Amino acid sequence: MVLAAAVQLEATLGDVRANLAACERLADEAGRAGARLIALPEFFTTGIGFEPALATAALAPDGAATALLTSLARRHRALVGGSFLCRDLDGHVRNAYLLADPSGVVGRHDKDLPTMWENAFYTGGDDDGVLTAGDRTVGAAVCWELMRTQTVRRLRGRVDVAMTGSGWWSIPRWRPHRLFDRLERSNAATAGRAAATFARYIGAPVVHAAHAGPLTCAMPWLPMSYRGHFEGSALIAAADGTVIAERPAAAGEGVVLGEITLQRRPALPTPHGFWLHPRGALPAAVWHYQRWHGRRWYRRNTLQNS
């Protein structure tokens, strides 16, 4: 049995220094409790929203985010992982999940497909996300990678544990309220079950970090603001999908701890199709329009800042 920890962060959008300090404080709390696996969320340096300042907030592969992960791993003799906007030597920004142990960085996974407005801030990767740390094999996946069958196919039966993180935002309460409330209930339910269900599909426990708190930002191509919140939860799930420990988003910032067995189990069959869970009509439409907008915005803004 290994004590694992998942961090739930209330990030300050675009404030790298403040977010690094908060992550260090929370990870230290986990390390002092004896955790030997510590997961930070996706975008732990910046948070995520359609905020133009994120175009210049990416860090170098050997920058402050990497220094934090490696120092935490050494300090607590732990595996520590999380993803951040990383500007590589080719000028492109990627959503890079780095895994560190006491010896330093042991692996990296770049998220395959940006989600919605994320397209404005990074480009996708194509690695398998299977990372080796000593005698352990770790699967890395972030946010809507937990929603896709292609992620299951690359990790299923190949990893001892998955370290994951998300920044899953809500559907705003626009008019007509009855319609958008119904859409949000479905969205929140999917956010709540995606990480634990993923464990059953890959046959390995999942340590899932998350964001919490309100989110206000611009809306791409629309003359209105987004006002919503992050949802889902930081949780630790066994390989059979049983939730061992959980901190709902409504509980705010904090750390959740749970003991897991690093042992592969038989996995559920991989479903046919692209998605593990139905997205609904509105998220599907927003997925496409914000991808079209974001790719153009990325070339004109984020990439130009290299």
> Residue 191: is its pLDDT beyond 90?
yes
> Residue 201: is its pLDDT beyond 90?
yes
pLDDT in tens, 108-154: 999 999 999 999 999 999 999 999 999 999 999 999 999 999 999 99
Q: Residue 132's pLDDT is what? A: 97
Cα torsion angle, 10, 12, 13, 15, sign:
negative
Q: Cβ of 306: how many Cβ atoms within 10 Å?
A: 12
Q: Residue 263's pLDDT is what? A: 87
The CATH number assigned to the domain holding 130 equals 3.60.110.10
* 103 Cβ contact list (under 8 Å, min separation 6): none
Q: Residue 58's pLDDT is what? A: 98
Per the prediction, the chain carries an average pLDDT of 97
**Number of domains observed in the structure of the chain:** 1
Distinct helix (H) and strand (E) counts, the chain: 5, 14
Q: Residue 227's pLDDT is what? A: 97
| Residue 306's pLDDT band (cuts 50, 70, 90) | confident
Using alpha carbons, select from 58, 103, 102 the residue that is nearest to residue 83. Answer: 58
Q: Which residue, chain included where needed, has tokens 């969205």?
A: 187
pLDDT in tens, 75-88: 999 999 999 999 99
pLDDT in tens, 92-117: 999 999 999 999 999 999 999 999 99
Domain that holds residue 114: 2-305
Q: Which residue, chain included where needed, has tokens 């770049």?
A: 110
| Residue 31's pLDDT band (cuts 50, 70, 90) | very high
| Residue 280's pLDDT band (cuts 50, 70, 90) | confident
> Residue 305: is its pLDDT beyond 90?
no
| Residue 304's pLDDT band (cuts 50, 70, 90) | confident
pLDDT in tens, 284-301: 999 999 999 999 999 999
| Residue 171's pLDDT band (cuts 50, 70, 90) | very high
Mean pLDDT for 30-57 is 98
Q: Which helix (H) or strand (E) holds 201?
A: helix 177-202
Concatenated DSSP letters of 256-283? EEEEE-------PPPPSSSBSS---HHH
How many Cα atoms are found within 13 Å in the side-chain-facing hemisphere of 46? 23
- Beta carbons of 220 and 117 less than 8 angstroms apart: yes
Token pair, residue 56, equals 């210049």
